[in-house]
Structure formats: C-alpha cells, structure tokens
A and B are shown apart, each in its own frame.
Chain A
C-alpha cells in the first residue's frame, strides 16, 4: 500500500495542479470576458472614406486586399452640374465630346453618359466595372462640382480589421464609422 502511494503520488500531484490551473484559467477567462463586455459596443464599426479628406491619389485602386478594389466611385446626382463637357468624364482636351473610349478619362469606361435635355448630360457609374482609381474624381474635383467621390462599398468590402488602404492613404481619409451609418456621402449643392 505504501509502495503504491509513492509511485502514484507524482501523477496525482500533476492532476491536482492541472485541475487547479484549469479552474484558474476558467476564472481568468470569465473575468476577461467580463472586462471585455465593458469594451463591447453593440455597434460594429466599418471603414469609410471621408470625401472631404480624400486626395484622389489612386491608392484605393491598388491597396485594397480585393482586386478589383471594394472602393468605387459614387455620384452625388444632386450636386452634379450635368455638364456637357464633364471633366470627370472627358480627358483634358478631348477630340470630340462623344463616348469614344479615347476621349474618356476612365481607364475602364465605367462611366455611362446619357443625354437628358439640352445641354445636360447625366453621368452614372457602372460599379461592376469601376476599379476605384479616382481619376474621374480628380477631374470632377479640379474643374467641376466635386459630385463624383470615392466610397467603400459595403456589399464588397470585407471590413478588414485594419483596412490596408487606410494604412497607405496619404490623406488620412479612412476612418471607422458605425455600421448603422456606413456611408459618408456628399449630398447637394450648398452655396451660390
């Protein structure tokens, strides 16, 4: 009997230690979860571009973990001048004001141009084509109303823990916004 106790002693001690550590770990995890609850907010956060800060640098097209990027050009129609010579649509000094590809600024011809009434044209973005390069946005910003702007499209975005465009954005334009208001849109013409 005494013999047996000696040989089995280390095992029981180990078991005891193990059980103790388990209880400690469980308590720790429980406490940790409790602490965590205080850090939880019911609102999840998602990434979005502040159009006022965006510098239209082109990195949105290249830095997203998705190819093509989850960032697309978005049009605030109420802000648009419906210009015949849209500087977001046409290259500088286009040959003709028509839809020929060589006249278009967009590298993938994602902007659709539609005549509405003289002399107004409507421009719509085909998001299945847009790569988020921001060329049109730059054109519109420089000489137009700034009605074209870039937004993270949440039907595509994976909501990475750390948006890889945000890391590279020179304008510091990316920020986390509450999921209930996932867009930072430009809306309408405000002065003049």
Chain B
C-alpha cells in the first residue's frame, strides 16, 4: 500500500492522527448554565516537594555517618544491622528503592550526553556522597545504607562458599554491567540498570512478571549466597570497590592485634577474609609472576582493541532498543503488515511515522551513529576490565594478619565477634583465656579509630 493510501486509511478509519487532533475535537460549545452552576476546577496534585527531596539527602548523609560510627567506633554488628533495617524501610519500602545511587551513573552519563537533560541535584549527591565516604572508610554505604544490600543481607540464612575461581571470574561482571548502563544511557537515553533492577519491584510491590520472576530468583539465591547482586552485578558496588581499594581507613577484624588464631577465617559469608601471606623468602619466587605481568601488560592494548571492535559490531543491533530506531526499522520493513481493522499501538506508531517519515528516519540514523560510536568505547572498556583483572591476578599481596579484602568487604561487621581480642575488648573474655601465641594483653580499652584503621606493616 502506498504511503498516501495508508494515511488516508488512517484518517478514515480512526481519525487518530495527531495533526488532526485539534480540528476534530471541540464540536459542542459549552453550555451557559441558567442555574449559575460553577464549573469544578481540574485538580493538579503536585509532585514531591523539593524539601522532601532534601530530606532524603539529609537521611542519606546521616545514615552514612552512623554507618561509619557503628563500624569503626562502636564495632557493633547489631547497630549496623538495625541501621540497615531502617534503611531498608526508608529507602526501600518508603522511597520505593528509587532514590538510590545504583542507577545514578546512568543519570550522570545522560546528563553529559544529552543537553536537554538536567541531572537532578539529589541524584548528584546520592552518586557522590557514598563514593566520597568510601575513599575514606570503605564500603560503609553497603553495610548500613543501601536498601538492596540490606534486603539481601537479611535474607541470608545458610551461606555457601563460592569457589574462588568462580568468584574471580564473576567479579568482572559489575564493571561490565556498569559499562552497559552508561553505554545505553549515553547512546540511547535508556536506563537499563533501573529497568532490570531485581529488587525494586518488591519495594514497590508491583512490576512486570519477568522482573518479579528475576527478583524472586535473586531472593532465593540470596538465602544461600551472600549478597549475590552486590558481589556479581551491582554497578555502583563496582565503583565503591575501586574507591575502597584506596581508602584511608579499612575495616579490620581485630580491634588491636591479630594472633592468627584463625577463629575468624570462615566468618565472612561473602568470602572477603584473606589469610596472611608472608613475604617471599626468595626473590626468585616472584619471577614467574613478573613474566606473566609483562605478558599481560603487552597483551592489554590488543585485548582492548579486539573488544572495541566487538563492541562496535554489537552496537547496531543494540540500537534497536531505542523506540525511534525500532520505529524506523519497522517503517522500512518491506513486509510491514497491513493495518488491522482495530488500531493497535504499533499500527498507531507506524501511522505517525507515515506523517513525517523524513524526520523519523534521520533521527533514527543519528541515534544509530551514536550507538556505533559508543560501541567502540563500551567494547574497549570491557577489554580493559578483563585485562586489568588478569593483571591483578599476577600481583602477590603481603599480609601479616587475617584481614578482609579491601574491595570485597561490605563492612557488615559480622567477623568482629569471631575475634577473641574483640571479646576481650568487650569484656566477654578475660585476657588470660586468649588463644594464640602472643602474650595476653591487659589493656582492654577500645583503640582510637585512626589506630585501628591503619594497616599493620611488617615487623
């Protein structure tokens, strides 16, 4: 059917074309009432007030502060737990999980790439504040403030250990997911991280069947694998992990010194506790690692290039998520179905395209170009993530104590009570009962946070 035929058909059949909207309506002049009837006013219920948004920010900052205090000063798992329950109720069920930093990287990306979009101030603060705190105190946001983390944390009943190779392999996923989110936000104005968030449908108590199923899947897995979303998917967690790798203070299991009694070894449900690694006795031991490091460093650019190429190739099909591109493609489809008798949303969209094919097609072409450009970057990012992960495997840490891994530790505080020194500090154990090799200490006073935070150096 020709283009003119189609639009004529549309006009006759449904009269729905936007251009004729105004002309078609307004058929009967409004009455003049003899009874003096007053017209009701159309109500316009306002959106959430600005002060309420600022209140959210205040709650966030307060919770972040409390989380740091509970983890570093009080060293109390119970306080952290109560704080996370509060956050779950407030940020989760009350604010419907929709005021959270997890999706914020997308807002920021869209803000940079789409001049028409303004990043809301609240989103900017929610993005920056937890990262800033993580640079000083590690992932205390994850411990007590994030509703997603709290939900998974509370569900955990019987943690199983994830094998190290699997954990290492899966740990690149959050970075890739982050890249995906930024890619779609920048190129297609889409928010995939929000769309596929597994827990938000539960906070809202409504959602599509697919997402409810995925969410239920995550909830079941959360009972046996500690925080699966946090460890293997959360894009914001990826950023927090990076920040806490270089944080000023760190969570330590023991309040003062480690006797290597190994009581805490299995206490972390997230597999974050690392055992001491003595420095190599013979420098030659490091030689194979060095060789591998050199190899990977040389291979890194090649890896990035290969993935960038792949990214560019997958960008074209990915562009179809954009409604305009999808519309244009369907519009160009030679086998496009004849319009049905009763107009469907899809046929209505095609009709709209019929009225202004040129602008739909040029807009779609522009978006596709943007996708293919972003595809290079996205692919390069994936290559970089995998490369850096491989490189990091070659580095050999030196540790004198049992310590949580800086990046992997959620600062939940579960391990504290497993340490006999902590029990001594709390007066639950007398110093003479201490296991281990070192002489018992008598001072049980809590140690200042600056002190506890400092990693022990080799003696």
Closest A residue to B124 by beta carbon equals A36
Count residues on chain B whose CB falls below 8 Å from chain A CBs: 77
- Interface contacts beyond A77-B42, A158-B96, A168-B323: sample of 7 additional A-B pairs, CB < 8 Å, sorted by A: A21-B246, A45-B120, A57-B345, A81-B28, A158-B204, A167-B190, A170-B348
Contacts of B459 in A (CB 8 A): 4, 8
Q: Which of B26, B35, B48 contacts A192 (CB 8 A)?
A: B26
Check B457–A12 contact: CB distance below 8 A. yes
Q: Kindly report which residue of chain A lies nearest to residue B279, judged by CB atoms.
A: A7
CB-based contact A22/B246 at 8 Å: yes
Number of interface residues of A (CB under 8 A): 85
| A78–B73 alpha-carbon span in the complex (Å) | 64
> In whole Å, how far is A148's beta carbon from the nearest beta carbon of chain B?
10
Q: In B123-138, which residues have CB < 8 Å from any A CB?
A: 124, 128, 131-132, 135
B37 touches A40 (CB 8 A): no
Residues of B within 8 A of A15 (CB): 455, 457
Chain A residues positioned under 8 Å from B191 (CB to CB): 160-162
Q: Does any Cβ of A come within 8 Å of B254's Cβ?
A: no
With a cutoff of 8 Å between Cβ atoms, the chain A residues found around residue B53 in the complex are 44
Give the chain B neighbours of A191 by CB distance below 8 A: 26
A143 to B24, CA, bound (A): 8
CA distance A82 to B343 in the complex (A): 28
Query: Could you name 11 residue pairs across A and B whose Cβ atoms are closer than 8 Å?
Result: A18-B245, A33-B124, A44-B118, A57-B345, A81-B28, A146-B24, A161-B107, A170-B345, A170-B349, A172-B323, A172-B352
Q: Check B337 for interface membership: any CB of A closer than 8 A.
A: no
Pick the contact of B25: A8, A116, A145 (CB < 8 A): A145
In angstroms, how far is the closest chain B Cβ from the Cβ of A124? Answer: 7
Residue contact A45 to B135, C-beta cutoff 8 Å: no
Chain A contacts of B44 at CB under 8 A? 182-183, 185
* A185 and B42 within 8 A (CB): yes
Residue of B nearest to A172 (CB): B352
**In the complex, are the beta carbons of A29 and B128 less than 8 A apart?**
yes
Chain A binder among B14-22, B307-315, B418-426, B442-450:
B14-22
A164 shortest CB reach to chain B, Å: 7
The 8 closest A-B pairs by CB, nearest first: A146-B25, A81-B28, A170-B349, A41-B118, A155-B45, A154-B47, A57-B345, A162-B191
CA distance in complex: A188, B29 (Å): 10
B18 touches which of A36, A52, A122, A154 (Cβ 8 Å): A52
Q: Is residue B210 within 8 Å, beta carbon to beta carbon, of the partner chain?
A: no
CA distance in complex: A170, B349 (Å): 4
Contact (Cβ within 8 A) B190 A170 = no
Select from chain A the residue with minimum beta-carbon distance to B32. Answer: A120
The answer to whether A182 touches B47, judged by C-beta atoms less than 8 angstroms apart, is yes
| Residues A176 and B30 in contact, CB atoms below 8 Å apart | no
B-contact 0/1 string along A132-170, CB 8 Å cutoff:
000000000111111000000111111111101001111
Chain A residues positioned under 8 Å from B37 (CB to CB)? 116-117, 120, 122
Task: Known A18-B246, A120-B33; judge A39-B349 contact (CB<8 A).
Answer: no
Contacts A29-B131, A36-B124, A79-B30 given; indicate if A154 touches B348 (C-beta within 8 A): no
B window 85-127: CB within 8 A of A: 96, 98, 103, 106-108, 111-112, 116-122, 124
Nearest chain-B residue to A188 (Cβ)?
A: B30
Contact with A along B226-249 (1 / 0, CB 8 A): 000000000000000011011110
- Report Cα–Cα, A167/B194, bound state, in Å: 13
When the two chains form their complex, are residues A40 and B457 in contact, meaning their CB atoms are under 8 A apart? Answer: no
- Asked whether, in the complex, the Cβ of B348 is within 8 Å of the Cβ of A55, the reply is yes
Of residues 32 to 79 in A, which have CB atoms within 8 Å of B's CB atoms?
A: 32-33, 35-36, 39-46, 52-53, 55-59, 65-67, 74-79
Tell me the bound Cα distance from A32 to B35 in angstroms. Answer: 64
CB of B18 within 8 A of CB of A116, answer no
**Given A44-B120, A82-B31, A171 and B18 touching (CB < 8 A)?**
yes
From B16, B112, B344, residue with most partner A Cβ within 10 Å: B16
What is the CB-to-nearest-CB distance from A173 to chain B, in angstroms, rounded to a whole number?
8
Determine whether B4 belongs to the interface, using a CB cutoff of 8 Å to chain A.
no
CB neighbours (8 Å) of A35 from chain B are 112
**Contact A145 to B26, CB < 8 A, known contacts A55-B16, A161-B103:** yes
**Residue in A closest to B121 when the chains form the complex, CB atoms:** A40
Within the complex, the shortest CB–CB distance from B59 to chain A, in Å, comes to 18
Tell me if B128 and A189 are in contact (CB < 8 A). no
**B25 with A144: CB separation less than 8 A:** yes
Residue of B nearest to A53 (CB): B18
Whether B135 pairs with A25 at a CB distance below 8 angstroms is: yes
Closest chain A residue to B41, Cβ basis: A77
Min distance, Cβ B451 to any Cβ of chain A, angstroms: 16
Is B429 on the interface with A (CB-CB < 8 A)? Answer: no
Q: In the bound complex, what is the Cα–Cα distance between A75 and B46 (angstroms)?
A: 17
B26, B118, B242: the one contacting A40 at CB < 8 Å is B118
A190 within 8 A of B: yes
Whether a CB of chain B sits under 8 angstroms from the CB of A97 is no
Bound CA span A32–B132, Å: 12
CA distance A156 to B415 in the complex (A): 43
CB contact between A77 and one of B39, B96, B455 (< 8 Å): that residue: B39
Contact A145 B27 (CB under 8 A): yes
Write the chain A residue with the least CB distance to B248: A22
Q: How far is the CA of A176 from the CA of B343 in the complex (A)?
A: 27
